[in-house]
């Protein structure tokens, strides 16, 4: 059996694991947990009442967190106008040169954006970018003619994507432990609203959000009371 750290043990004594809490209470408990030596990411974990085997019940979407994610985003842009992309905030920009670097194994970035024309070239590295979730996609707003706007939107740090996995779970970044309780609550409420709006039309007569919890990178999860999302 793995040894439980002192911080983890201390955190576990601050609340009842089996209980559920109102959002404000849950955030208050999270704030009392011992902190790591770095600014931990706070994540919302959701278990959905959908059938992940059904393609019509896939849940995914994009949310612009009203208070940002607190994360520095590294963005590359596939475009013929590299200078304009860099001026808009892209960390790297170009076409064939970026493709060559990626083919050599470079993937040191968080988001890739591209113009529709550039996608003809970007497909050469789809097998590299796709499995890592880095492939530009029109549905996520990362394939667009307005490349400057896409870069600025991503670099703001508030744009977060969510996608359900094969076990009907999804995790969404909602901020950092250094955020105020008010900012975390606003972000979490926005994420819950976005997930609710992404409910599959084919889902009938089932509880959509079955359980929700918040946690820091190094903390246990605190479950939220179902009254918070029962009517979403």
Domains and CATH numbers, the chain: 6-70+159-228 (3.30.190.20), 75-155 (3.40.50.790)
Residues contacting 26, CB < 8 A, separation 6+: 214, 222, 223, 224
Spatial separation of the C-alpha atoms in residues 232 and 102, rounded to whole Å: 42
Q: What is the mean pLDDT of residues 77-91?
A: 94
| Nearest residue to 50 (alpha-carbon basis) of 223, 196, 222 | 196
pTM of the predicted model, to two decimals?
0.74
The mean-pLDDT minimum among 37-51, 89-103, 108-122, 142-156 falls in 142-156
Q: What is the mean pLDDT of residues 25-39?
A: 93
Q: What is the mean pLDDT of residues 216-226?
A: 92
pLDDT at residue 3 tops 70: no
Contact predicate 95/133, CB 8 Å = no
Contact predicate 177/35, CB 8 Å = yes
pLDDT at residue 47 tops 50: yes
Q: What is the mean pLDDT of residues 26-45?
A: 94
DSSP string, 22-79: -HHHHHHHHHHSPP-SS-PEEEEEEEESS-TT-GGG--EEEEE-TT--S-PPPEEEE-
Phi-psi region of 208 (alpha: psi -120 to 50; beta: other; left: phi over 0): alpha
The pLDDT value given to residue 71: 82
Confidence of residue 220 (pLDDT cuts 50, 70, 90): very high
Which pair of structure tokens corresponds to residue 11? 């955190």
Average pLDDT, the chain: 89
Partner residues linked to 94 by β-bridges: 78
């Amino acid at each position: 059996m793995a040894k439980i750290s002192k911080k983890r043990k201390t955190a576990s004594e601050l609340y009842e694991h089996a209980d559920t809490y109102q959002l404000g209470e849950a955030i208050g408990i999270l704030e009392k947990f011992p902190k790591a030596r770095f600014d931990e990411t706070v994540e919302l974990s959701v278990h959905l009442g959908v059938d992940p085997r059904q393609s019509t019940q896939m849940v995914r979407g994009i949310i612009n967190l009203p208070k940002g994610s607190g994360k520095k985003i590294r963005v590359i842009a596939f475009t013929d106008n590299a200078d304009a992309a860099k001026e808009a905030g892209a960390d790297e920009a170009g076409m064939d040169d970026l493709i060559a670097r990626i083919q050599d194994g470079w993937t040191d970035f968080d988001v890739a954006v591209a113009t529709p024309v550039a996608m003809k070239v970007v497909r050469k590295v789809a097998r590299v970018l796709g499995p890592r979730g880095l492939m530009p996609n029109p549905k996520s707003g990362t394939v667009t003619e307005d490349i400057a706007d896409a870069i600025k939107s991503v670099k703001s740090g508030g744009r977060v994507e969510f996608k359900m996995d094969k076990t009907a779970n999804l995790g969404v970044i909602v901020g950092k432990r250094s955020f105020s309780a008010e900012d975390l609550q606003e972000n979490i409420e926005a994420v819950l609203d976005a997930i609710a709006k992404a409910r599959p039309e084919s889902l009938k007569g089932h509880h959509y959000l079955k359980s929700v919890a918040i946690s820091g990178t190094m903390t246990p999860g605190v479950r939220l009371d179902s009254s918070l999302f029962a009517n979403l």
